[in-house]
Structure 1
Amino acid sequence: MSRWLAIALLSLCAGLAQAATFRVDDSASQVLDNDVQMKWDDAVPGQHARQTVSGALTVLVRLDLSPWQGRQGRVYMTLPASPSGPILTQWTTRGRLLPGALRAGERALVYAGPLPAGLLEDTVRLNLQADGQRLSRAEQLHFSFEVDLDTP
């Protein structure tokens, strides 16, 4: 019985090895408000005050999925780890992409299904939150997108 289990696990692992991840061209995306003004979440400092700052921005996301059109896959938004500490991002969309949340250093699912020809477009409203004590200067965030293709 354990021999069949081992063969089944090897078959599963072989199938997983065929899945591929690719970076998605999002160069047509447009940030509508480049300079995000971060504000303290608690206006009055004190022992029980949160030491976090928050800000928001809107992005017209345009993902070129044409290299994989007609395939099934999952698209993820990524954000590299930040030198100023943890950053939490939450977002809403107008419907083509999934709303969600992610922490710097992670990735989050924003689309699953058949990959369309051309651009996958949506308006995304991002809410950012960071540790106000560690955020000492302006910092650029480098969101990107990846697609995981399902095996044919």
Structure 2
Amino acid sequence: MSMRALIFALGLLLAASPAMARTTHRVDDSASQVLGNTLKMKWDSVAPQRGQRPTVSGTITVLVRLNLAPWQGRSGRVYMTLPAQATGPVTATWTTRGRLLPGTLRAGERTLVYAGAMPGGLLEDTMRLVIQADGQRLARSEQLNFTFEIDLEGP
């Protein structure tokens, strides 16, 4: 077998691998609760360094409750997502109490928050989020629509 044929055969094998067969589903997080209604943003610096955009930040706590019952016992990865924002870059950084992974998420991306076997019922944790945005482009009132999605492994 030539090297080219071997590489092609390996490529086909990897493409057909069960680890590559994933399906993505939206996770019901409707039982989650934001503590405090409004995220109050404050300027990060009175005078940002030359060439840097002035940013604003705020902190808020969310009781996250993810309904993973439809996938109980299956293996997968749960991601938190945030759509791209018309007002420019937004970054969320958070800590948790341990059930979910701490992390950072930029608008327009998704970040892993849980991996492994899906528990039955609700997966609950408390997230303390720090949101940072471009202070020049941020409108007075913005709504950030974080969502969660799951990638299941295998059939």
Taking the aligned partners of 1:47 and 1:13, their CA distance within structure 2 comes to 48
Give distance in 2, aligned partners of 1:47 and 1:111.
37
Correspondence 1:59 to 2:62: yes
Q: CA distance change for structure 1 residues 32 and 9 in 2, over 3 Å: closer, same or farther?
A: same
Q: Which residue of 2 aligns with 1:140?
A: 143
**Which moved further from structure 2: 8-17 or 89-98?**
8-17
Alignment partner for residue 110 of structure 2, among 94, 107, 125? 107
| Matched residue, 1:98 | 101
Deviation at 1:33, TM superposition (A): 1.7
Deviations 1:71-124 (A, max 9, x none): 011000000001100001100000000000010000000000110011000000
Three-state SS of the structure 2 residue aligned to 1:8 is helix
Q: Distance in 1 between matches of 2:94 and 2:114?
A: 14
Give 1:137 deviation, angstroms. 2.1
Q: 2:49, 2:80 → 1: CA distance?
A: 36
Q: Which runs of 4+ in 1 moved over 3 A?
A: 45-50
Residue 34 in structure 1 maps to residue 20 in structure 2: no
Structure 1: any 5+ residue segments left out of the alignment?
Answer: none
TM-score of the pair, normalised by structure 1? 0.93
SS in 1 for 2:9: helix
- Number of residue pairs aligned between Structure 1 and Structure 2: 151
Show the 5 A alignment for 1:5-44.
5-15=7-17, 18-42=21-45, 44=46
Deviation readout 1:2-47 (Å, 9 max, x if unpaired): 21221221221233652111110001000112201100001x3365
Aligned-residue CA RMSD in angstroms? 1.6
Q: Which residue of 2 aligns with 1:122?
A: 125
Q: Distance in 1 between matches of 2:116 and 2:13?
A: 24
Output the amino acid matched with 2:137: R
Alpha-carbon separation, structure 2, partners of 1:133 and 1:25: 34
In the alignment, the residues of structure 2 paired with residue 46 and residue 110 of structure 1 have an alpha-carbon distance, to the nearest angstrom, of 32
Aligned to 2:47: 45
Normalising by structure 2, report the TM-score: 0.91
Identity across matched positions, percent: 64
